[in-house]
């Protein structure tokens, strides 16, 4: 747990975090956010938490090239629940933002990637 908090703190400091976090709520075109992609049980398997906020986006467009690269990177289905991908995600909203609900998005690009397993950094990449 301590390692995960260290990762989050490091990422917040390196992204120029200051005060309010951009969540793209008022945008209906592509925008980039800094978040954590994780795998969840339920209707929307891939979700992105926008770091520094209480906002969660769900990845509805699973067949984009960016998500295909994520799927190829983790071939073992059990490992998904132990991995997190921290990155700058460029997303395209699939519906208008509705307060109190997860917004469906399509992931267009993933850059400045940090991959963690069980809260420990295992790899850093420029993009995925």
What domains lie within the chain, and their CATH numbers? 2-17+26-127 (2.40.50.500)
- Residue 125, pLDDT > 60, answer yes
Q: What CA–CA distances, in Å, run from 70 to 9, 39, 74, 79?
A: 24, 11, 7, 12
Give the H or E element holding residue 71. helix 65-73
Share of the chain above pLDDT 70, in %: 76
Q: What is the mean pLDDT of the chain?
A: 79
CB 113 within 8 A of CB 128: yes
The span from the CA of 86 to the CA of 36, in Å, is: 4
pTM given for the model = 0.76
pLDDT at 14 over 70: no
The candidate with the shortest Cα–Cα distance to 56, out of 70, 42, 67, 74, is 42
Yes or no: say if 23 and 52 are a contact pair by the CB < 8 Å rule. Answer: no
């Amino acid at each position: 747990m301590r390692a995960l908090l260290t990762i989050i703190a490091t990422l917040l400091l390196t992204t120029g975090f200051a005060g309010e976090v951009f969540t793209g709520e008022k945008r209906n075109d592509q925008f980039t956010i800094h978040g954590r992609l994780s795998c969840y049980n339920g209707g929307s398997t891939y979700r992105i938490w926008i770091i520094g906020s209480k906002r969660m986006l769900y990845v509805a467009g699973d067949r984009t090239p960016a998500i295909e690269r994520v799927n190829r990177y983790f071939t073992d289905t059990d490992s998904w629940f132990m991995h997190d991908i921290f990155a700058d995600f460029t997303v395209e909203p699939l519906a208008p933002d509705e307060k109190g609900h997860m917004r469906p998005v399509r992931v267009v690009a993933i850059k400045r990637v940090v991959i963690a397993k069980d809260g420990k950094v295992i790899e850093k990449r420029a993009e995925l």
